[in-house]
């Protein structure tokens, strides 16, 4: 299955803030620009799923306006960014170093900020991918409009399966930049 992963455009927040599950808007002009770029590469009629967060939905709305031939957009909260709990909307520099150390020591299971672990994200993305592949088949194609953490989880799953992540060194370091996209092949294609 071929999956286009589109990351929302830059958000309208001061740089350096943690904003995982926080529902903050993206820059609308940059969302429109990202939609135009993505629209040029997507095949006709490809189905589109979007995170439940408004910054991703902005990109989806712009994409639909320039590519009305695409299948209707479906919202899937499993594509939401990781919930960083008490660290949401806090400066990353304000997070005590000890908090990062605890997370890195148990990268799979520690709930950084108290809500969601890395493995929780991997598990929900793996379920979403399995459901997608079951509905589209191995040779299907789809678009997810989502976030960096979900894109990294999808990359991890594509290379390692939904197995528990052994440590932070296995987490993909690269994700699409805000407003950009990438492709993944999940499983075998026909």
Helices (H) and strands (E) in the chain, counts: 5, 5
Contact in structure between 52 and 79 (CB atoms under 8 Å): yes
Q: Which domains does the chain possess?
A: 2-185 (3.40.50.1240)
Q: What is the predicted pLDDT for the residue at 188?
A: 57
Q: What is the predicted pLDDT for the residue at 139?
A: 85
Cβ count within 10 A of residue 114: 11
* DSSP 8-state class, residue 146: E
Residues of the chain with pLDDT under 50: 189-190
Contact in structure between 6 and 145 (CB atoms under 8 Å): yes
């Amino acid at each position: 299955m071929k999956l286009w992963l589109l990351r929302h455009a830059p958000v309208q927040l001061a740089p350096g803030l943690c904003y995982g599950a926080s529902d903050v808007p993206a820059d609308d002009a940059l969302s429109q620009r990202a939609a135009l770029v993505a629209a040029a590469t997507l095949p006709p009629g490809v189905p589109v799923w979007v995170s439940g967060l408004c910054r991703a939905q902005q990109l989806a709305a712009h994409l639909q306006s320039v590519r009305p031939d695409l299948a209707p957009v479906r919202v899937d909260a499993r594509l939401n960014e990781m919930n960083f709990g008490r660290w949401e909307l806090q400066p990353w520099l304000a997070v005590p170093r000890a908090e990062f150390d605890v997370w890195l020591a148990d990268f799979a299971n520690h709930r950084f900020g108290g809500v969601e672990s890395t493995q929780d994200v991997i598990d929900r993305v793996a379920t979403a991918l399995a459901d997608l592949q079951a509905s589209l088949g191995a040779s299907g194609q789809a678009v997810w409009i989502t976030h960096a953490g979900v894109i990294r989880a999808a990359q991890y799953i594509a290379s390692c399966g939904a197995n528990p992540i052994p440590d932070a060194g296995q987490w993909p370091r690269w994700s699409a930049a805000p407003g950009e996209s990438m492709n993944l092949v999940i499983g075998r294609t026909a």
